[in-house]
Amino acid sequence: MSNTQFDLKTKVIHSCHIEVIYEDNHLLILSKPACVPTVPDSSGDISLLDWGRMYLKETRGKPGRVFLGVVHRLDRPVSGIVCFAITSKAASRLSEQLRTHMMTKTYLAMTMGRPPSRGGVLEHMLKKDRARNIVRICDEDMGGKLSRASWRLLGTQHGVSLLELRPTTGRPHQLRVQCASMGCPLLGDIKYGARDPLPDLSIGLHAYRIRLLHPTRSQWLDLSSLPHESGAWGLCRGLIT
Query: What pLDDT, on a 0 to 100 scale, did the predictor assign at position 158?
Result: 87
In a domain, 50, yes or no: yes
**Residue 75 appears among annotated catalytic residues:** yes
C-alpha to C-alpha distances, 90 to 98, 181, 211, 213, 216, nearest whole angstrom: 12, 36, 15, 11, 7
Residue 241 within any structural domain of the chain = no
Each residue's pLDDT tens digit, 87-100: 999 999 999 999 99
Candidates 208, 183, 214, 10; CA nearest to 111 is: 183
- Whether residue 55 is predicted with pLDDT greater than 60 in this model: the reply is yes
C-alpha torsion sign, points 48, 217, 219, 72: positive
CATH code: domain of residue 205? 3.30.2350.10
Alpha-carbon radius of gyration of the chain: 18
pLDDT in tens, 211-234: 999 999 999 999 999 998 888 998
What whole-number distance in Å separates Cα of residue 229 and Cα of residue 201? 16
Q: According to the model, what pLDDT value does residue 9 have?
A: 47
| Per-residue pLDDT tens digits for 10-26 | 444 545 689 999 999 99
Task: Give me the number of domains the chain comprises.
Answer: 1
State the pLDDT at residue 5: 44
Which candidate, 194, 196, 203, 193, places its Cα nearest to that of 231? 203
pTM exceeds 0.75, yes or no: yes
Q: How many helices (H) and strands (E) does the chain have?
A: 4, 11
Q: Is residue 18 situated within a structural domain?
A: yes
Q: What pLDDT was estimated at residue 16?
A: 61
Residue pair 200/79 in contact (Cβ under 8 Å)? The answer is no
Residue 15 neighbours by CB under 8 Å, 6+ apart: none
Cβ-based neighbours of 78, under 8 Å, separated by 6 or more: 32, 34, 202, 203, 205, 206, 207
Nearest-CA neighbor of 173 among 124, 220, 224, 221? 124
Domain that includes residue 96, residue range: 3-236
Active-site entry in 75, 139, 189, 196: 75
Contact 73, 95 (CB under 8 A): no
The pLDDT tens digits of the residues spanning 152-210 come to 999 999 889 999 999 999 999 999 999 999 999 999 999 999 999 999 999 999 999 99
End-to-end CA distance of the chain: 42
Does 58 map to a domain?
yes
pLDDT at 8: 42
* CA atoms of 202 and 36, how far apart (whole Å): 10
Residue of 77 and 6 predicted with greater confidence: 77
Three-state SS string over 76-102 comes to CCCEEEEEEECCHHHHHHHHHHHHCCC
- Residue 105, in any domain of the structure: yes
